[in-house]
Amino acid sequence: MDLLSNLALGLSTAASLDNLFYCFVGAAIGTFVGVLPGIGPTATIAMLLPITYYLTPTASLIMLAGIYYGSMYGGSTSAILVNLPGEVSSSVTALDGYQMARQGKAGKALAIAAIGSFVAGTLATCVIALVAVPMTSIALKFGSTEYFALILLGLATSTALAHGSVLKAMAMIVTGMLFGIVGTDVDSGAFRFTLSIVDLTDGLGIVAVALGIFGIAEVLRNLENMPENASGAATITSLMPDREDLRASIGPILRGSALGSILGALPGGGSILSAFSAYVLEKRLSRHPERFGKGAIEGVAGPESANNAGAQTSFIPMLTLGIPSHPLMALMIGALMIQGITPGPNVVNARPELFWGVIASMWIGNVMLVILNLPLVGLWVAMLKIPYRILLPMIVAFSMVGVFTVGNSGFDVLLLAIFGLFGYFFSKLGCEPAPFLMGFVLGALLEEHLRRALVFSGGDPGVFFTEPISAGLLLVTAVILAIVAFPMIARRRKQIFSEET
Amino acid sequence: MAVNPRDLVAGIVFIVIGAAFGGNAWLTLRLGEANAMGPGYFPVLLGLILVGFGGAIVFSSVGKPRETFGIVPWQGIALVTAAIVFFALTVRGLGMAPSLGIATFIAAQASGRLSLPGSLLLAVGLTAFCVVMFIYALRLPYPVIGSWLRF
């Protein structure tokens, strides 16, 4: 009955007036940036990190979480109505959702997407509540050897999911790690790569780096080819799906939720992989696979449920192990660190109201999102008409002010410009920013655990292979890398990712 | 022989970064031993790995179909960068309001599709919003008008 009392604690925390308010703000902002193409949740969260400084840790995490899963709802709205997926993971929804809209079934597609997301969100919340405590008790037994292996596994899976060349993704991770260890070495106090600049002795600020390579670099990329705004939005007629639609969707929704919950919890996983896998699964299982891509309701229900479930369960590694599964979670860790909380297995015991409050808020947030997205869908469609030429100066202005206020330093704003150019330059070379940020966040942690593990083993690297848990994790890492490198699967992977563009 | 320029340049860039960080660490930081790592041990290791990855990317660029770099919107990039650098250098001296207003105006020119009055309106509106939000609502201790403008 421990679980029930925990959930009760969470619900009472999340239902406080303040936290309800921030949950709503997060969900609304999330829907907004999810609807808009050209600005994603990662950049938004980086922009809002400075504001979270003034909130309680629980409220800030509740709001940031709301932005993340809110953007999943919003992304599907623009994917269905105008075939412009606001988020990468909604691009799967666009395949069949937009076709449904063209056949005059836009309302049904939106409703099924929202219902699917809600069911998935509810189930994923239960999964987190059930899995988190056992996970943390395992994690508390982990030593540096296991953590080292675990971080490597997370990095390997994140390359497996990067678009484009795996080699480049791995090189970006290592580059990120090198930039991540700029500053004072905690162990010896030596300055590393500080170029005699005093501002660099504390290291590069994560907000400046993340906003640079995600926010500003994205702005520069969009200048090449300005995102169109929605001129031909499909009109919404009936929002109510009939019984036939519901019956066709119930299976895909449940399967998508299950698949998304599992894939989301993997290190490196999350909503994108979940959505693609659910689409492929539904197409396989369907008795009429030829209808997919032509407005099959299953092709909306499955991926939409999966991406929402995956988005939520990807909090599990962050909350229980302190290891982010993707860049967005890395920023959440940044938000907690600003507040003086080191995420990890201790959070559940030391700050139960934070832990359970965030989990319970996800469910409340999902209820709010259904209300925000179905009756108010017209409002978001109107938002879609904001042209990018107006959005662009807004993004730049908020990024600058945000970076300045979080560090109270003009130097950090210069870093924002530098990393913006850096991110743009690398995107021109076909290198993604996500692995860079993963390496940036995890580099120092990896070094610390490598150091400690080797101190205990007397400098023998064999310890990683003789300790059973770390050996197992490294084996999985090796298998993942082998799969990615294996040409046949690599081709198949390319095929899946190319459907998205 | 066909070489993919994007991969070739990416590989070379990674080799340069790896060599620069690794070389710097090798020359200026204590390496230590595996059982007592100095500050230079891990960076040198990473530098070597990165040079290796860079080499592999250069190697793999041979015989791949050519990819172009696509268009580069130089003017827009210069304007966005200029706006951020301007804000970085003047936010203390000029104060939040003038510095942010001018920087936003510069950024608004980047798309080349916003009229002059439109940009002005946007700059003033955004600045007002940020000043109200950050300085009056969140009570951040930044001057709205900086010391350069006070006589």
Q: Which of A318, A13, A400, A385 lies closest to A150, judged by CA?
A: A318
pLDDT digits (tens, 9 = 90+) for A98-121: 888 888 888 888 888 888 999 999
d(CA A61, CA A73): 19
Q: Are A125 and A309 contacting, i.e. CB atoms less than 8 angstroms apart? A: no
Judging contacts by C-beta atoms under 8 Å, the chain A residues touching residue B39 are 185, 187-188, 190, 192
Does residue A232 carry a pLDDT above 60? no
HSE (side-chain half, CA atoms, 13 Å) at A479: 6
Q: What is the pLDDT of residue A368?
A: 92
d(CA A116, CA A129): 20
Q: What is the pLDDT of residue A489?
A: 53
pLDDT digits (tens, 9 = 90+) for A376-410: 888 887 877 788 888 899 989 989 988 898 778 88
Q: Give the H/E segment covering residue A484.
A: helix A468-485
Judging contacts by C-beta atoms under 8 Å, the chain B residues touching residue A454 are 34-35, 37
CB-based contacts of A153: which residues, under 8 Å, 6+ apart? Answer: A267, A473, A474, A476, A477, A480
Nearest to B111 among A178, A389, A420 (CB): A389
Q: Are A169 and A278 contacting, i.e. CB atoms less than 8 angstroms apart? A: no
Which carries the bigger pLDDT value, residue A282 or residue A496?
A282
d(CA A372, CA A364): 12
Q: What is the pLDDT of residue B1?
A: 61
The tokens describing A73, both together, are: 């709802």
Q: What is the pLDDT of residue A501?
A: 38
- Quick check: B107 and A396 CB within 8 A? yes
Q: Are A97 and A394 contacting, i.e. CB atoms less than 8 angstroms apart? A: no
Share of chain A above pLDDT 90, in %: 22
Share of chain A above pLDDT 70, in %: 91
Interface of A with B in 431-470 (CB under 8 A): 431, 443, 447, 450-451, 454-455, 457-461
Q: Are A100 and A84 contacting, i.e. CB atoms less than 8 angstroms apart? A: no
Q: Which of A321, A322, A282, A279 lies closest to A303, judged by CA?
A: A279
d(CA A61, CA A333): 9
Does residue A500 carry a pLDDT above 50? no
Does residue A84 carry a pLDDT above 90? no
Q: Are A67 and A44 contacting, i.e. CB atoms less than 8 angstroms apart? A: yes
Confidence bin at B83 (pLDDT 50/70/90): very high
Pairs of residues, one from chain A and one from chain B, whose beta carbons lie less than 8 Å apart: 190
d(CA A364, CA A7): 12
Q: What is the pLDDT of residue A490?
A: 54
pLDDT digits (tens, 9 = 90+) for A254-272: 999 998 888 888 766 667 7
Residue linked to tokens 């929605």: A230
pLDDT digits (tens, 9 = 90+) for A359-381: 889 889 999 998 888 888 888 87
Confidence bin at A191 (pLDDT 50/70/90): very high
Report which listed range, A85-99, A199-213, B118-132, B136-150, is most confident: B118-132
Q: What is the pLDDT of residue A495?
A: 56
Mean pLDDT of the A145-163 span = 82
d(CA A211, CA A327): 11
- Quick check: A400 and B84 CB within 8 A? yes
Q: What is the pLDDT of residue A361?
A: 92
The tokens describing A19, both together, are: 């936290």
Closest-CA distance of chain B to residue A177, Å: 8
- Cβ burial of A32 (10 Å; 0-12, 13-18, 19+) is buried
Q: What is the pLDDT of residue A21?
A: 94
Kindly identify which residue of chain B lies nearest to residue A48, measuring between CA atoms. Answer: B134
pLDDT digits (tens, 9 = 90+) for A289-318: 888 888 888 888 999 899 889 888 888 888
Judging contacts by C-beta atoms under 8 Å, the chain A residues touching residue B97 are none
Q: Are B4 and B61 contacting, i.e. CB atoms less than 8 angstroms apart? A: yes
Q: What is the pLDDT of residue B56?
A: 93
d(CA B1, CA A322): 48
Specify the range with the lowest mean pLDDT, choosing from A160-164, A474-478, A495-499, B115-119. A495-499
pLDDT digits (tens, 9 = 90+) for A25-40: 999 999 888 888 767 7
Does residue A491 carry a pLDDT above 60? no
Average per-residue pLDDT for chain A: 84
d(CA A273, CA A259): 10
Confidence bin at B43 (pLDDT 50/70/90): very high
